[in-house]
Amino acid sequence: MTAINAPRDKYNAVWIIFFIMGLATLLPWNFFMTATMYFTSRLKDPSANRTVEGGDGRNVLESKFNNVMTLCAMVPLLIFTCLNSFIHQRIPQKLRILGSMVVILVAFLVTAIFVKVDMAPLPFFSVTMIKIIIINSFGAVFQGSLFGLAGILPASYTTPIMSGQGLAGTFAAFSMICALASGSALQDSVFGYFITACVVIVLAVMCYVLLPRMEFFQFYMETNRCRPSADEENKMDLLRKEESAEKRPAASLTEDEAKAEVSVFAIFKQIWVMALSVCFIFTITIGTFPAITVDVKSTVADGGAWENYFIPVACFLLFNLMDWAGRSLTAVCMWPGKDSVWLPLLVALRIVFVPLFMLCNVLPRYYMPVVFSHDAWYIIFMILFAFSNGYLASLCMCFGPKKVAPHEAETAGAIMAFFLSLGLALGAALSFAFRALV
């Protein structure tokens, strides 16, 4: 009935709006991560105590910036992803989405302003980490609320969110490359870079404001309002259970209650391989990228322009393009299958990327030798690393809900999302150990 009476999404306007808002969910983190060259340049302090051996002259703040940044991003993301599942029914959707975007916009405006403000390294480091915590905390609420909003629409409207998120990193890397190519001083280039991020967030805010005016969106919102709320459904279920309780023996009731209590655990028992696989995938990815990969130095540049473009292109742009390619391939190929032993085996094999990147020309280094010094090795590893991340993670996220009954798929999806966030947080914590081993 709904599909027949639903109006058409004219000009795919609602699809485009969800794409832009999906882009805005991961854009903040990617813009901060891609700008590590700028942040570490602001942390240089000739008068500071040198703690890094090997003659590179970096202080504590410079050497630990990438690790601390990743930790300050992923731990709040995990915590607020969990919190959003509890607060979403108590805080209006408009406040959660619009409020989160406004906070993120303010944080980016402050970041852009601080580009022009001289600060000592330690206060600058502290303020930057506080901004990262704030952005990723509100970003988690924004992301969770946006997926919830898309759930009101047909299932295909989750796709533009995923597409927007997949392109967020590529957009950030491309913006940084354009900023560097402008020929301006690093300070002026980065100012324009962060202003670009502000423009995208403002565009996302405008899109959200326009969304309720779309006839297509209005139809599904009205349809959703006509359905009984979760509380009402629970009350109705309770009344039905009370009525049937009078007609059933006590032993039967105890059995039903036990089933209800272990339902989440029972679902996890069916999808634990997929859940732990996606957790492991992102633990390895975030443990290595960008904490180790961003410190690889080009051996080909020899002081030329490639030295400035090496990390923005070979690290960030290449990773995001190949990750996007891996995610996209699952639309036409889903090998190995959800019950194949090859999938967890391929996931486990990704651990080989940790020593491979460690053996590249990572500087500074104390313990491990440089085995793969040429830039080509680093680029090959990055292509395989990023593509396998996107492809295998997408397979796991798709297969998880398909391993349970249809009415359990939503819970399975929530479990998979939690383990994905857990993998991000574990990777952030392990990045300190991985970097210290080099």
Task: Give the residue, 215 or 350, on which the prediction is more confident.
Answer: 350
Most confident of 88-97, 250-259, 356-365: 356-365
Torsion angles phi and psi, residue 298, rounded to 5: -70, 135
Residue 406 lies in domain: 269-438
Phi, psi for residue 313 in degrees, rounded to 5: -90, -60
Task: Collect all residues with Cβ–Cβ distance below 8 Å to 271 and sequence separation of at least 6.
Answer: 400, 401, 403, 404, 412, 415, 416
149 against 380, higher pLDDT = 380
Question: Where is average pLDDT lowest: 127-141, 253-267, 302-316?
Answer: 253-267
Q: Is residue 354 part of a domain?
A: yes
**281 and 360 both lie in a single domain:** yes
- For the stretch 264-283, pLDDT in tens is 788 888 889 999 999 999 99
Question: Does residue 320 lie within any of the structural domains?
Answer: yes
With beta carbons less than 8 A apart as the criterion, state whether 298 and 363 touch: no
Final residue in a domain of this structure, among 219, 254, 281: 219
Instruction: Taking the CA atoms of 212, 216, 222 and 225 in sequence, report the sign of the dihedral they define.
Output: negative
- One-letter amino acid identity for 362? V
Kindly state the helix (H) or strand (E) to which residue 310 belongs, with its residue range: helix 305-310
Across the range 156-166, mean pLDDT stands at 76
Give residue 227's pLDDT: 57
Report if residue 261 sits inside a domain: no
Number of domains in the chain: 2
pLDDT, position 57: 63
Specify which residues 59 forms β-bridges with.
50
- Strongest mean pLDDT among 52-56, 95-99, 419-423: 95-99
Confidence of residue 387 (pLDDT cuts 50, 70, 90): very high
Q: Which residue has the tokens 């039967």?
A: 252
How confident is the model over 393-412, as a mean pLDDT? 78
Task: Confirm whether 329 is domain-assigned.
Answer: yes
Residue 248 lies in a domain: no
Where among 183, 202, 219 does a domain terminate? 219
Give Cβ neighbours of residue 404 (< 8 Å, ≥ 6 apart). 267, 270, 271, 411, 412
Contact indicator for 219, 229 with CB cutoff of 8 Å: no
Please determine, for residue 377, whether its predicted confidence score (pLDDT) is greater than 70: yes
pLDDT tens-digit map of 355-374: 999 999 998 888 999 999 99
Higher pLDDT, 125 or 260: 125
Q: Are residues 214 and 273 in the same domain?
A: no
Q: How far apart are CA 223 and CA 35, in angstroms?
A: 44
Q: Give 10-59 pLDDT, tens digit per residue.
A: 888 999 999 899 899 888 888 888 888 888 888 886 554 444 444 456 78
* pLDDT confidence band for 249 (50 / 70 / 90): low
Residues 207 and 329 in one domain: no
| Residue 249, in any domain of the structure | no
Q: Kindly report the three-state secondary structure assignment for every residue of 325-375.
A: HHHHHCCCCCCCCCCCCHHHHHHHHHHHHHHHHHCECECCCCCCCCCECCH
Q: How many CB atoms lie within 10 A of CB 202?
A: 14
Judge whether 194 and 108 are in contact, CB under 8 Å: yes
Task: Return the CATH number at 40.
Answer: 1.20.1250.20
- Given a cut of 50, whether residue 307 has pLDDT beyond it is yes
- From the CB of residue 214, how many other CB atoms can be counted at a distance below 10 Å? 17
* CA 138 – CA 157 distance, rounded (Å): 22
Share of the chain above pLDDT 90, in %: 35
- Paired with 296 in beta bridges are 362
Mark whether 141 and 32 lie in a shared domain. Answer: yes
| C-beta separation of 151 from 227 below 8 A | no
Spell 341-372 as b/e; 16+ CB within 10 A means b: eebbebbeebeebbebbbbbbbeebeeeebeb
Q: Are residues 196 and 290 in the same domain?
A: no
Query: Per-residue pLDDT tens for 224-241?
Result: 676 554 445 445 555 555
Same-domain check for residues 39 and 163: yes
- 31 and 164 share one domain: yes
Looking at residue 56, what is its pLDDT? 57
Question: In the listed set 188, 219, 250, which residue is the last one of a domain according to the structure?
Answer: 219
Kindly report the pTM of this predicted structure. 0.76
Mean residue pLDDT across the chain: 83
Residues sharing a CB contact under 8 Å with residue 234, sequence separation 6 or more, in sequence order: none
Which CATH number characterizes residue 283's domain? Answer: 1.20.1250
User: Do residues 57 and 133 both lie within one domain?
Assistant: yes
Q: How far apart are CA 40 and CA 364, in angstroms?
A: 14
**Which has the closest alpha carbon to 354: 364, 342, 368?**
368
Are 54 and 199 within one domain? yes
Model confidence pLDDT, tens digit, residues 170-221: 888 888 888 888 777 777 888 888 998 899 999 999 999 999 999 888 888 8
Q: For residue 140, which of 68, 200, 78, 91 has the smallest C-alpha distance?
A: 78
Claim to verify: residue 184 and residue 301 sit in the same structural domain? no
Q: Which of 366, 286, 288, 311 is nearest to 41 (CA)?
A: 311
Residue 233 lies inside a defined structural domain of this protein: no
Task: Specify whether 319 is located in the same domain as 437.
Answer: yes
**Residue whose structure tokens are 């759930």:** 151
Q: Does 94 share its domain with 174?
A: yes
Contact 210, 11 (CB under 8 A): no
**Which pLDDT does position 51 carry in this prediction?**
46
What is the pLDDT averaged over residues 392-399? 85
- Asked, for residue 389, whether it belongs to a domain, the answer is yes
Q: At 83, is the secondary structure helix, strand, or coil?
A: helix
